[in-house]
Amino acid sequence: MTKKIYLIIFLIAFYLFITQFQNIARLVYPFHYRDIINEETRKYGIEPYLVVGVIRVESGFRENAESNKGARGLMQVMPQTGIWVAEQIGLEDYSEEKLFDPHVNISIGTWYLVDLLRQFNGNVYAALAAYNGGRGHVSRWLEEGIWDGSRDNIGSIPFPETRAFVLKVERAYNLYRLIYEEQ
């Protein structure tokens, strides 16, 4: 084939990639449970892309996910946290098994994330670190100057799993915004 034909094939492939980018990206980054997430994030005043980012990182959208520490469901809510949040939001007939119900799990997980954002004055990085590593740990790190709560100093977070979690959720959040945010 001549160079001209290769160039034409390349341009066609490039055009298809550019015009179909969003569709391809949505296959790689699906937005499962979108209706529930949108309902709960509207209710609690938080961006849906942050919640879907947490879900992607925590469970990979597996509603029956359970960690070796006992966290359950899409947002990997600990049973004790589920009990506490259910009381806070007036969720009747709550049981730990309901953490495997997507609506219950997303409602509890979203409320809890919003509560952490309130505690840490809207600092998303601190709230995400607390979601993964515990609010008590993050409060201590901030009070003792171990970590300043900034994106630039995430490397100062003492728990490697928590550092990785915060960065993964940030990445997923940014990609979901890019792919799904209305232009």
**Helix axis angle, 124-133 to 135-143, nearest 10°:** 130
Is 25 in the same domain as 99?
no
Is 153 in the same domain as 81?
yes
Q: In the prediction, which pLDDT does 17 show?
A: 67
The predicted-structure confidence for 10-22, as pLDDT tens digits, reads as follows 777 777 666 677 7
Is 13 in the same domain as 54?
no
- Place 32 in a pLDDT band, splitting at 50, 70 and 90: very high
Is 19 in the same domain as 47?
no
Is 14 in the same domain as 50?
no
Which phi and psi angles does 73 have, rounded to 5°? Answer: 80, -170
How many residues are recorded in the chain?
183
Is 93 in the same domain as 110?
yes
Is 99 in the same domain as 133?
yes
Q: Is it the case that residue 183 has pLDDT exceeding 70? A: no
Cα 33 to Cα 9, 30, 48, 90: the distances in Å are 38, 9, 11, 23
Domain count, the chain: 2
Is 51 in the same domain as 12?
no
Is 92 in the same domain as 143?
yes
Is 104 in the same domain as 149?
yes
Cα 20 to Cα 9, 13, 23, 155, 174: the distances in Å are 16, 10, 5, 36, 19
Cα 76 to Cα 67, 124, 131: the distances in Å are 7, 18, 10
Is 19 in the same domain as 100?
no
CA distance 155 to 55: 23
The predicted-structure confidence for 121-133, as pLDDT tens digits, reads as follows 999 999 999 999 9
The predicted-structure confidence for 44-89, as pLDDT tens digits, reads as follows 999 999 999 999 999 999 999 999 999 999 999 999 999 999 999 9
Q: Are 94 and 83 in contact (CB under 8 A)?
A: yes
Q: Which two tokens stand for residue 24?
A: 């391809």
Q: What is the mean pLDDT of residues 110-129?
A: 98
CATH number of the domain within which 104 lies: 1.10.530.10
Is 61 in the same domain as 10?
no
Q: Which residue range(s) make up the domain with 157?
A: 32-180
Q: Which residues are catalytic?
A: 58
